[in-house]
Chains A and B, each alone.
Chain A
Amino acid sequence: MASALKTYGTLIGFVLVVLFFWIEIPDTFMTAKNWLNISQQVSMLAVVAFTMTIVMVMGDFDLSVGSMASLAGIVAALAFRDGHGVWVGVALALGVGLLGGLLNGVLVAYVGILPFVATLGTLTVYSGLAFLVSGGKTIFGRDIPTAFSGFARSGIPLADMVSLPSLTIVAAVVLLVVWFTLEQTTFGRRLYAIGGNKEAARLAGIRVRRLRFLAFGLSGLGAATAGLMYASRVASANPTQGSGLMLDAIAAVFLGMTMSEEGEPHVAATLIGVLILGVLGNGLTQMSIDSYVREVLIGSIIVLAVASSSLGKTKG
């Protein structure tokens, strides 16, 4: 029973937060429309957090995801401005994301730089590139085709006035792909083995370097996907717009990790972490709570959730 509480403390906390808002905001919180709203609001963070989970499974970090998201948005917007179609812009941006991620992989896996340092370096490089190619300007207005900006406003109609947003569908697809990759393939199980003990994994014949290289590539690809979703949602691209994603994504994965007996990241748990952040943002706004109080609450919840989980584990 006690161990179940340790493992499910964060989940119970999430349920309590939802119950709290349901009671406080009885008319509008627990509605299909609001939950579809929340799903759309967290979709970009969710994609970054899901792919961040892949590298965190190995005990690594990718700090460059926020600037990669910005860079991807800028690359697509510049392609649109030069008259290329939506798919060309999207493909170019995803290509840049994959290459940037693989560069992180080279630095970490083959050159042997600590992920924290390597991705801190590329964070600055990608951010600088985003400023360089855009001239520091926001690209918006007629430069962004309506087919691209319309995507974030589209969805599958479910009922009167309610539809399943396209951004939510993208996030759900990424969730399924990452879940399948991590939980159902040898590739995924080997990543967990590396996270458990790199040396043992290597001695067991796992090609640690190549797997880390590929995992960082996936993280870069996820960051670029989120950057495109962001650019579509705001119908513009700005060289700093993705920068808030990185810390929130790491926070979401950490919140999820408190739900695992071994302290391992799992993508389904990351989803709960993402939802906690998203529901707090949505509910506290509806309750007219000051936006800075929200920051303090979110930070405190992360620290307390991780602390209570790790204290519980040490005692147990």
Chain B
Amino acid sequence: MSRHSSYRLTNILVAILLGLGSVLMLAPLVWMISTSLKTMEGVFELPPQWIPDPFVWSNYARIWEAGPLLSGIRNSVIVSLTVTIVGTVTSSLAAFAFSKLRLPGKNGIFLAILGGMMIPFPALMIPTFILFAHIGWVDTLLPLIVPGLLGNIMMVFFLRQYLHNVPDSLVEAALLDGASYPQIFWRLIFPLIRPAIAAQFILWFMAVWNDYLGPIIYLNSENVQTLQLVIANFNATYAIQTDYPLIMAASLVALLPVLAVFLIFQRQIIESIALTGSKG
């Protein structure tokens, strides 16, 4: 009985401490929302207002004329969706082959590719840029899209791990029933690994959506800039005019879609990341 109540007492203490920590974690985000709704003068009030007075909802109307935010959203959607949808198909097909099909030397190939992943992108960005410059793709979305279409090694890696739990006999049985390999993949493997694919898909989508280094290298013209680049330019332009409400409103708009995706799928995402760790 006493052990039980001491556990509960510690629980309360821990919850209070975690609660205080949560306040620290959330404060910057809350402050961001608060700033985005203030007047330009309200930002500089001391002591600071946490609840804007007055609420300036029109900041969220102003951002659309203040910069190419709309085309930024469009470009980001084009890049992230194309890359993740097509890339997920190529990645899961590769994972299926690496895990379940017999091919001489496939493990060697897999290890080589995995090793290649250890070369960080910044170490290769200059020759890659030159490659795209030669085929005239600089200042278009193609350099951000095309490499992704050919798959994502991390995804291949995790799906391959996941597929190890699927018995080979399932594939063999389907073969005996006369199914072709694409049919086996589509009707048997894909439904089986769908949860893993979904989680990897979301993680990848968030990574592409939030990418900044790729876009800043390849994109110059306003009409091709992705959302992250647009808000960075917002920041550079409007900070001089100390228009912080405008900057924060635009940044919040950039942050919101992914945040929404996370909050909707938070259980699956958190579980899949936990899985990543325990596999590691």
- The yes or no verdict on A and B being binding partners is no
Residues in chain B within 8 A of chain A (CB atoms): none
> Contact residues of A with B, CB < 8 Å?
none
